[in-house]
Amino acid sequence: MRVIEVRGLRKSFRVGAEPLPVLAGVDLAAGRGEFVSLIGPSGCGKSTLFNVLVGLEPLDAGEVRLNGEAAPGKRELFAYMPQQDLLFPWRRVIDNITLGLEVQGMSRRRARERVRPLLPTFGLEGFEHAYPFELSGGMRQRAALLRTVVQERPVLLLDEPFGALDSLTRTTMQRWLEQLWERFRWTALLITHDVREAIFLSDRVYVLSPRPAHVRAWLEVPIPRPRALAVMATPPFLEIERQVRALLDQGAVGPRENDRDADEWEPVSAGDGPGEDARHG
């Protein structure tokens, strides 16, 4: 069953007297408990897509459905983790984590009771009374992710959560997130510029065109879970990586190709070349 479905989403911004198309008919979907990644060139509109989903920007056309019901701009349905951890420096770690629950009206005491059992799982036990400046980059991201998931929303939106980390910490966090997802099986959409991160974490990868963005293709990742980092050196992984990079290296494709109904599209399989656009049906 599709938990979230986006069909024909279009968005433009006004730049002077002229419109600037950013999203040109984006279609994507995620089923319950699926981890789905979106990858595309910088500035193609990935973060704009998330902003539309949570209602920070109005859509121009298209539809967003959650469990079959219209859901554009319904923030209570999405837990959104932006690129920066956005921890408040004057709040202790536990009070940063409970912030979203408090904003929803939960008392601080009750919010802390919900958070505390999860601190060991997120590697934060013993640091709950620290301030953000006392944490490493990886620990700050763990705190930000816990703040996001503890709200228990139907869909997680992760916008490059590890983009600011160094390579070694990022690799550690990728493995940690994969293990965490195995335990909780959230429905998650991830934005990333890291091809290997997208494949390693995902059940499906959507490849976006340059702006104005549409889905150039999507690829299933039929690699068994749980996944160890060593899987990145295996032939199936490397073949998917080759296909994703080939799609990203293609020249810009006109948005008119996106006007077909989403059900007409097929995925790129591990044995097919990436030359034909494809979309989730």
Quick one: tokens of 11?
């968005």
Res 74: pLDDT? 67
Structural domain boundaries enclosing 64: 2-86+153-264
Which position has the token pair 């279009």? 10
Q: Is the dihedral of CA 48, 51, 57, 59 positive or negative?
A: positive
What global pTM score does this model have?
Answer: 0.83
- CATH number of the domain within which 15 lies: 3.40.50.300
Q: Answer yes or no: are the C-beta atoms of 148 and 156 closer than 8 Å.
A: yes
Residue 277 inside a domain? The answer is no
pLDDT at 251: 56
58 falls within a domain: yes
Q: Is residue 98 part of a domain?
A: no
Judged by DSSP in three states, 192 sits in strand
Question: Is 139 within the bounds of a domain?
Answer: no
Query: Residue 278: is its pLDDT beyond 60?
Result: no
Evaluate if residue 44 carries a pLDDT over 90.
Answer: no
Gyration radius (Cα) of the chain, Å? 19
Question: Which phi and psi (to 5°) does residue 232 adopt?
Answer: -65, -15
- State the total domains in the chain: 1
Residue at 163 is within a domain: yes
Give backbone dihedrals phi and psi of 269, rounded to 5 degrees, phi first. -90, 165
Say whether 86 sits in a helix, a strand or coil: coil
Q: Which strands make up the sheet holding 18-31, listed edge to edge? A: 18-31, 2-15, 61-66, 69-70
> Which pLDDT value is given to residue 73?
62
Domain membership of residue 137 (yes or no) is: no
In a domain, 269, yes or no: no
The structure tokens listed for 220 are 């299933």
Q: What is the pLDDT of residues 148-180, one digit of tens each?
A: 888 888 888 999 888 878 888 888 888 888 988
Q: Where are the alpha helices (DSSP H) in the chain?
A: 46-53, 93-97, 99-103, 108-115, 137-149, 167-184, 195-201, 235-249
Over residues 57-87, the pLDDT tens digits come to: 888 999 998 888 887 666 678 888 887 888 9
* Range among 105-114, 168-177, 243-252 rated most confident: 105-114
31 pLDDT higher than 60: yes
112 inside domain: no
Q: Name 268's bridge partners.
A: 219
